[in-house]
A and B are shown apart, each in its own frame.
Chain A
């Protein structure tokens, strides 16, 4: 058996780890794999061209950009912000759990650019979480304050990652479809995306539970914060 094509896998791993341009890495690995499998260069270019051409449907998803861009022009981001702001007054735990659910649901409906670190976490979610934590637990030690900020960013990531795959017209789902189809297993996008739901529920329960536990732990850490006199 010819083991040389395995070098292609190693090339992908090394190339990505070394931060080369990913497109260069992928095409380089594809060409190397083809050559090592004994194809000549013309056949390799043809195989690459055919494979790229067969998988065009993955990039079709970008036609949604004019819709999202147009809505952003008329204040979609700002509207999402005021929705998040409307829970002002909630505890830190409740605020972040609500944001987690909001992020998962909007991502599952194809609005993955609502939220995100520069747009929502830094200007909005993190300061609100910090303010809520200070309100219920008093001034936080610096290390704890930073944990609240970091947890806000973590919540955005978890919400996005484990919400977006429920939307069928997203690159990761279509990539799965493409890889399986090339191997002879035709699947539909909806068949795949429904299987993102169990993990999404697990993510909400696990991460939501951790947020609430953090809020409780901070309450125990600073028992004087509520302002009540202690015996």
Chain B
């Protein structure tokens, strides 16, 4: 049976290669950071909780001290890229399409044909495992078709990874925070508190408070990812899912999108809202946000309605 463990070894190998290339490039901080992440993927299941915790603290220390840098591996020039793009045309999109097509079609086949009875994949893990398969297929196809230098995919991947930097593990870290919150009983406390404040059995008001909290926390923090574990622990899981029996998939997915509406409204999300205003030389630093207000607010209302209707009415 193919499990996540296989996928972790694959990802661990990728991060190990990136770590080695970083070290070769004398980017010591990057090398250490990606090396630790590689160790987490390759050995995390065997070294025990405490060692994993120390590994996390070490990665955070490297990031917190600002030791991660952007890298500039050798690549093609803009002129060469233009020529290639004319040579290959729209077929350049095909290898990228291989990945979602493999994963989605594979998942459907696995779930709705007798293939599923083979028990090839760990339960509920097939989509992400097939995503890994799709990546490998796309890589091989692109290598055969484009015939780049052998190290090119690793170096190009490293350029993108280093432009993301420590933010690459932020979602994983936030999910870990959510787990620690759950362990510490944060959800129970807030559930009890909110139960006293929010009118009894008012599903609609609770949905409203959940979505409002997602948007407001996102605006304050500039990041819906950070708001999500907080609001899920506070209202989403204890009240909406456990208290009122709502559909967890709808509440999770659409709750996150209610947070994205908040991202459209805040200068704290500088990369999306303030940087482009500067790039476009707008007089008003908040000019982009102003154009987003009347998309974000009606869309937020839509999200409230979707959670209420699909998460509760249609679900029960």
* Known A53-B44, A149-B280; contact A9-B7, beta-carbon cutoff 8 A: no
Q: Is the CB of B253 within 8 A of A173?
A: yes
The residue on B at minimum CB distance from A157 is B272
Q: Does A13 touch B at the CB level, under 8 Å? A: yes
Q: Which residues of B contact A37 (CB under 8 A)?
A: 183-185
Q: Which residues of B contact A177 (CB under 8 A)?
A: 252
Interface residues of B in 189-225 (CB under 8 A from A): 189-190, 192, 217, 220-225
- Give per-residue flags for B44-85: 1 if the beta carbon is below 8 A from chain A beta carbons, else 0: 110011111111110110011010000000011010011111
Interface residues of B in 253-293 (CB under 8 A from A): 253-257, 260, 263-264, 268, 271-273, 275-277, 279-280, 282-284, 287-288, 290-292
- Give per-residue flags for A1-39: 1 if the beta carbon is below 8 A from chain B beta carbons, else 0: 111011011001100110001111011011001101101
The residue on B at minimum CB distance from A20 is B64
Q: Which residues of A contact B172 (CB under 8 A)?
A: 52, 55-56, 58-59, 175, 178
User: Chain B's nearest CB lies how many Å from the CB of A115?
Assistant: 12
- Give per-residue flags for A54-89: 1 if the beta carbon is below 8 A from chain B beta carbons, else 0: 111111111111111111111111110011000000
* Known A37-B184, A109-B97, A185-B241; contact A146-B284, beta-carbon cutoff 8 A: yes
User: Chain A's nearest CB lies how many Å from the CB of B206?
Assistant: 17
The one of A12, A60, A176, A206 in contact with B128, judged by C-beta atoms closer than 8 angstroms, is A60
Q: Is the CB of A196 within 8 A of B100?
A: no
Q: Which residues of A contact B59 (CB under 8 A)?
A: 23
Q: Is the CB of B187 within 8 A of A121?
A: no
Q: Is the CB of A70 within 8 A of B248?
A: no
Query: By CB atoms of chain A within 10 A, which of B49, B154, B248 has the most?
Result: B49
Q: Which residues of A contact B225 (CB under 8 A)?
A: 171-172, 175
Query: By CB atoms of chain A within 10 A, which of B90, B96, B176, B224 has the most?
Result: B176
Interface residues of A in 78-122 (CB under 8 A from B): 78-79, 82-83, 109-111, 113, 117-118, 121-122
Q: Is the CB of A70 within 8 A of B178?
A: no
User: Chain A's nearest CB lies how many Å from the CB of B284?
Assistant: 7
For chain A, the bracket of interface size reads: 35 or more
What is the total number of residues of chain B having a CB less than 8 Å from a CB of chain A? Answer: 152
Interface residues of A in 167-196 (CB under 8 A from B): 167-169, 171-180, 182-183, 185-193, 195-196
The residue on B at minimum CB distance from A75 is B85
Give the complex CA separation of A175 and B174 in angstroms.
Answer: 7
Give the complex CA separation of A67 and B159 in angstroms.
Answer: 12
* Known A24-B60, A203-B295; contact A49-B49, beta-carbon cutoff 8 A: yes
User: Chain A's nearest CB lies how many Å from the CB of B297?
Assistant: 9
User: Chain A's nearest CB lies how many Å from the CB of B32?
Assistant: 14
The one of B181, B253, B272 in contact with A196, judged by C-beta atoms closer than 8 angstroms, is B253
Q: Which residues of B contact A180 (CB under 8 A)?
A: 232, 237, 248, 252
Q: Is the CB of A182 within 8 A of B179?
A: yes
Stretch binding the partner chain, chosen from B23-31, B112-120, B131-139: B131-139
* Known A55-B172, A60-B7, A75-B88; contact A65-B56, beta-carbon cutoff 8 A: no
Q: Which residues of B contact A83 (CB under 8 A)?
A: 90
Give the complex CA separation of A7 and B95 in angstroms.
Answer: 47
Q: Which residues of A contact B243 (CB under 8 A)?
A: none
Q: Is the CB of A154 within 8 A of B175?
A: no
The one of A3, A50, A111 in contact with B189, judged by C-beta atoms closer than 8 angstroms, is A3
Q: Is the CB of A48 within 8 A of B180?
A: yes
Q: Does B20 touch A at the CB level, under 8 Å? A: no
Q: Is the CB of B132 within 8 A of A60?
A: yes
Q: Which residues of A contact B280 (CB under 8 A)?
A: 121-122, 126, 146, 149-150, 152-153
Q: Does A225 touch B at the CB level, under 8 Å? A: no
User: Chain A's nearest CB lies how many Å from the CB of B83?
Assistant: 8
Give the complex CA separation of A64 and B132 in angstroms.
Answer: 8
User: Chain B's nearest CB lies how many Å from the CB of A65?
Assistant: 4
Q: Is the CB of A66 within 8 A of B156?
A: yes
The residue on B at minimum CB distance from A189 is B127
Q: Does A227 touch B at the CB level, under 8 Å? A: no
Q: Which 5 A-B pairs have the closest CB atoms?
A: A69-B156, A75-B85, A49-B53, A49-B52, A178-B175
